[in-house]
Amino acid sequence: MKEIHHWIDGNEYKGTSGRFSDVFNPATGEIQAKLSLATKAELDHAVERAAVAQVKWGATNPQRRARVMMEFVRLINRDMDKLAEVLSSEHGKTLPDAKGDVQRGLEVIEFCIGAPHLLKGEFTDSAGPGIDMYSMRQPLGVVAGITPFNFPAMIPLWKLGPALAAGNAMILKPSERDPSVPLMLAALLQEAGLPAGVLQVVNGDKDSVDAILDNPVIQAVGFVGSTPIAQYIYERAAATGKRAQCFGGAKNHMIIMPDADMDQAADALVGAGYGAAGERCMAISVAVPVGDKTADALIERLIPRIEKLKVGPYTAGDDVDYGPVVTAAAKANILRLVQSGIDQGAELVVDGRDFNLQGYENGFFVGPHLFDRVTPDMDIYKTEIFGPVLSTVRAGSYEEAIGLAMSHEYGNGTAIYTRDGDTARDFASRINIGMVGINVPIPVPLAYHTFGGWKKSGFGDLNQHGPDAFRFYTRTKTVTARWPSGIKEGGEFNFRAME
């Protein structure tokens, strides 16, 4: 059985804990590898070595660090097919989706090539007699990234790119469910010229997370995952004086106005709701048509589109719409929530419970589900299902529709489909959600803007990637300098305002 270990000081580092986690092939249900889980001592060793390596890396001028990022981009493009293949084999998503996973992370690395500009400080000449003031952005030191299973390339790249370009060293703890791609990225960074020890990949479970939070050398933690864990990490990191940026769950609503193009809206919902088997924090899981006529027209268009979805392993070709979910436990939880929707009175319009794929009976495949007449008190509305399940909540008016999204505890992403500019502008202005799409179903910002949710979808005051990432991974130091000229005066004992 293949064993997967850690990446420390620029080489594979074989774990010594004797504890392992199973890495499955989600399409077959078979264990394809054993992942070594780190001890606290191993995590602390990785941090200690990273702290040594960071000193020289942090003193390297930003342009030279940017050149490493530039070469890293070239190497990712060179190995795109290889990365996607490994990603699909461990996660289960289709090859085109896996390449998209890598590509959206790659775009952040491209943005990080501009680090010299993003790290510039400010300068005020002659703030007072012979006095200049200037600010510098300096790296924090050693930082950590804790990343989820659903984007095993993209989110590690979102974390490590800005952190390293800003001059930090990083401890990356990827998901234990699909750990191979982060290790491959670490090797590519080494090939690109990153000094050994500046990026350490330590595989582990909660013990490793707690070791990260308890280690006094680590100055900041970035996390993406479920809301309970995001809140736990945020609170514990803050209690130990660490900077924290933690992103949690989502329940993204898409409002469909009566004037919307119904075919366009239906196509958008199918892609946003069922792509990657719904295992996206920006998936649309709630459709909110305004008015029964709108709802009926929407459901009428959704049913044939959903029933035609092709579900299968990534090896079945690029025309597969989505693959399996990541684990047997995830499949069981999705089907449990589907049953709760039925029990609580929702109308199951498309029933995927009996989905079975010949030859892959032990795989973690879940058929597509569509609910109608869902109400806000139901578990399928309140809970993040993270599966191929779309719930339709009928609203009687625009105000009722926007109120649903605004009153939900999650605030990651939302969308509205309409042809009316006034409605769209009002929606964008009023909605208390971090990312908004107008006739765009999954409003993931491009790399030079920032990504982040509100309410219980995000803990911390700075977002991922874009300019916020460089603010998060640096500290500002302000210097007031005076170079006296002429005869020096005696000491001053009062604090005087600048003249």
- What secondary structure, in 3-state letters, does the chain show? CCEECEEECCEEECCCCCCEEEEEECCCCEEEEEEECCCHHHHHHHHHHHHHHHHHHHHCCHHHHHHHHHHHHHHHHHCHHHHHHHHHHHHCCCHHHHHHHHHHHHHHHHHHCCHHHHCCCCEEEEEECCEEEEEEEEECCEEEEECCCCCCCHHHHHHHHHHHHCCCEEEEECCCCCCHHHHHHHHHHHHHCCCCCCEEECCCCHHHHHHHHHCCCEEEEEEECCHHHHHHHHHHHHHCCCEEEEECCCCEEEEECCCCCHHHHHHHHHHHHHHHHHCCCCCEEEEEEECHHHHHHHHHHHHHHHHCCCECCHHHCCCCCECCCCCHHHHHHHHHHHHHHHHCCCEEEECCCCCCCCCCCCCCCCCCEEEECCCCCCHHHHCCCCCCEEEECCECCHHHHHHHHHHCCEECEEEEECCCHHHHHHHHHHCCCCEEEECCCCCCCCCCCCECCEECCEECCCCECHHHHHHHCEEEEEEEEECCCCCCCCCCCCCCCCC
Which residue out of 276, 281, 284, 380 is catalytically annotated? 281
Q: Is 246 marked active-site?
A: no
Known catalytic residues are: 281
